Amino acid sequence: MVVLTTIYVIVAVLLLFGAAIFVHEWGHYFVARKCGMKVEEFAIGFGKILWKREKDGILYTVRAIPAGGFVKLPQMLTSDAIEGKNEEDTEPLPEISPWAKIAVAVAGPIMNIVFAVVLATVIYFVGLPEMITPPVVGNLSEESAEYELGIREGDVVTKIDGEPIASWEEAYKLTALSLTNRFEVTFLRDNGEFTRVLMSTPVSDEIPIRTLDLPSKYPPIVGRVLAGQAADEAGLKADDKIISLGEIPIGGQGQLIDELQKNGGTATEIVVHRNEERITLPITPRLIEGKVMIGVQFGSGPRVYIERQPGPTPWENISEVGSLMWRTLYALFHKEQTGVGVSDLSGPVGILAMIGAMVKIDYRLALNFLVLLNVNLAILNMLPIPVLDGGHTVMGLIEGIFRRKIPVKLQEWATTGFAVALISLMVYVTFHDVFERSDIFVDMFNNEVEIKAPADPTPAASE
């Protein structure tokens, strides 16, 4: 069974990643054929040829390194810098217009966007699981009223006033918005349910929001602190468990993110558990491109997902991906502010591992990641860099506007130089994927995941 699962994950990953590359290269291929350009090869992957077939003078190949692909168009110098020139081909080729070059260059990114829209539409109809924090009670003081009522660590909250509860986020929203401070809370323990009447209390005199005095067993865990960010300056460390922000108890990652957005850039306090010690730290979150951030990556915890039917609309999905992409680029170019560098990016190996982890959990999560991947491919490929589609577009515009061809040698030097730089960047980020983020490969075959219906009161997956 383990072998079959492994084969399924590997095959699914290669098919999904290959699909994103295929639609991109097919866009180039289709428009090039329509423009009457010569196509020498249509390839998925780089390096040694694993499979090939020639038809109508075009070589179709699948290559050993699944890190991209190319359509070999000698009239555009598309892949000479990576795959080398075909010295045997001495046939003079007709000139093509700069506008044809532009059309071919932008066709790939456009197809990625079209594919992303199709996937986002499918996700809207089939639904999308969203990660939640299981409503499992954490450590209770023996002097607390809740402990005296017989509630113990590990009990699962299933209902509040008869309404099914699937996460701590739902529980906090229900009590905070309620007009009463008295709640009938149903718990699950050892497959048996029991109900207790609990009183909610204000967070503090300054913050009248009322919450149940039930700690979460799974508070957000700090996995990594980004250098120079608010969390780093405040003194947060890896493995800290975040208990509260601005005196508001935090039950999970989703609630922490929501509270940060409400807090904005106001100086506040964050309370963490570290080595069984409760520590209060002053922190001033930062507003970066409309999002409030403190500069932490969350650590591992129980992965429980709840069904969302229908899923996000295609516009919501793609606009959120575009916003994420913009914030990432902003963070990279403002490293002193954000602490995010090139080493924090993932290369082809990391991307394949992330797709594998999501395939293992639920195919819809993998499809949703593919939306992100396709939009990213479209945006990155349109950067005005030689060897990328954006570079070809810029060169085509220069030729079209000034009616002068860019010297072939200059194009070759620029394309080769940037190809070497791009390959070096891929090697660099792949090194960090393999040696510094090896946990992403473990996630590909992690079985401790649970998908629940919104009203499913079953216990959460184990840590």
pLDDT for 79: 46
What is the average pLDDT value for the chain, to the nearest integer?
79
Cβ contact 303:461 at 8 Å: yes
Q: Which two tokens stand for residue 67?
A: 């890190």
Percent of the chain scoring above 90 in pLDDT: 15
pLDDT in tens, 267-290: 898 988 888 788 999 998 887 766
Please, which residues have CB within 8 angstroms of residue 211's CB and are 6 or more apart in sequence? 172, 175, 176, 200, 201, 203, 248, 249
Q: Which two tokens stand for residue 430?
A: 């792949």
The more confident residue out of 161 and 134 is: 161
Q: Which CATH superfamily is domain 221-299 in?
A: PDZ domain (2.30.42.10)
Write the single-letter amino acid at 387: V
For domain 145-212, give its CATH number from 3.40.50.1000, 2.10.109.10, 3.40.309.10, 2.30.42.10: 2.30.42.10
CA distances for 259 relative to 40, 179, 223, 290, 452, angstroms: 56, 21, 19, 15, 25
pLDDT in tens, 204-230: 665 566 778 888 887 788 888 888 888
Q: Which of 272-281, 353-362, 446-455 has the highest mean pLDDT?
A: 272-281
Q: Quick check: helix, strand or coil at residue 48?
A: strand
pLDDT for 459: 45
pTM: 0.70
pLDDT in tens, 104-142: 999 999 999 999 999 999 999 988 887 777 888 887 888
Cβ contact 161:342 at 8 Å: no
pLDDT in tens, 69-95: 888 888 776 544 444 555 555 566 677
pLDDT for 81: 46
pLDDT for 186: 93
Query: CA-to-CA distance for 227 and 248, rounded, in angstroms?
Result: 26
Question: DSSP assignment, residue 459?
Answer: P
Please state which of the ranges 353-362, 403-412, 453-462 shows the lowest mean pLDDT: 453-462
pLDDT band at 461 (very low <50, low <70, confident <90, very high): very low
In the chain, ranges of CATH 2.30.42.10 domains: 145-212, 221-299
Q: Which two tokens stand for residue 453?
A: 């219906």
Percent of the chain scoring above 70 in pLDDT: 81
pLDDT band at 460 (very low <50, low <70, confident <90, very high): very low
